[in-house]
């Protein structure tokens, strides 16, 4: 199981971490994740591709977007706390942040930089999902340039 190290620091000064599933993609994974993305795409088609015509409620009701779905399925554990969200009151900062699979709403308030680091680590999976070619060594090698390693 790959572990990525984040730039955000824990209260003790050590970097936060995220444990990911192996960065391989099963056909069933692709179908589950793309189902979420297709719902978003259908909402955009209904708006004729014009984001100003998108019914915000319909988009919100459509559930996860593609990146949220990747994080939901691939993040197995993390050291993040409520302090890494943008809306937690200070008295809740030390509380562990639930995993997305347990509470998908945590992705809405997750600090943007932390979210971007997780998304970057999942880029090989996103490429594979979208049909772009990713070499087998990239999928297996945690030190590969396409699988960012910060630790």
DSSP H helix total and E strand total for the chain = 7, 3
- Contact 45/28 with Cβ under 8 angstroms? no
Residue 146 inside a domain? The answer is no
A 10 A CB-CB count for 37 gives 19
- pLDDT, tens digit, 9 for 90 and up, residues 125-145: 888 876 655 454 554 555 544
Residue 31 inside a domain? The answer is yes
Return the structure tokens found at 88: 């937690």
Residue 107 inside a domain? The answer is yes
pLDDT-based confidence at 110, cuts 50/70/90? very high
Residue 148 inside a domain? The answer is no
pTM value surpassing 0.75: no
Residue 93 inside a domain? The answer is yes
Write down the pLDDT at residue 46.
Answer: 64
- Residue 105: which domain range? 3-140
**pLDDT of 87 over the 80 cut:** yes
Q: What total of structural domains would you count in the chain? A: 1
- pLDDT, tens digit, 9 for 90 and up, residues 29-70: 777 676 655 555 555 566 665 555 555 555 555 545 778 888
């Amino acid at each position: 199981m790959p572990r990525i190290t984040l730039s955000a620091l824990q209260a003790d000064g050590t970097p936060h971490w995220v444990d990911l599933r192996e960065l391989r993609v099963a056909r069933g994974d692709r179908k589950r994740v793309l189902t979420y993305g297709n719902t978003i795409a259908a909402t955009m088609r209904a708006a004729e591709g014009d984001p100003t015509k998108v019914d915000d409620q319909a988009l919100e009701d459509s559930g996860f977007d593609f990146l949220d779905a990747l994080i939901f399925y691939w993040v197995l554990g993390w050291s993040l706390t409520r302090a890494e969200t943008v809306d937690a009151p200070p008295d809740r900062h030390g509380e562990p942040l639930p995993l997305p699979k347990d509470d998908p709403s945590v992705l809405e308030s997750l600090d943007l930089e932390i979210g971007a680091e997780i998304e970057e680590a999942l880029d090989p999976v996103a490429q594979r999902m979208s049909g772009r070619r990713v070499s087998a060594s990239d999928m297996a090698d945690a030190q590969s340039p396409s699988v960012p390693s910060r630790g």
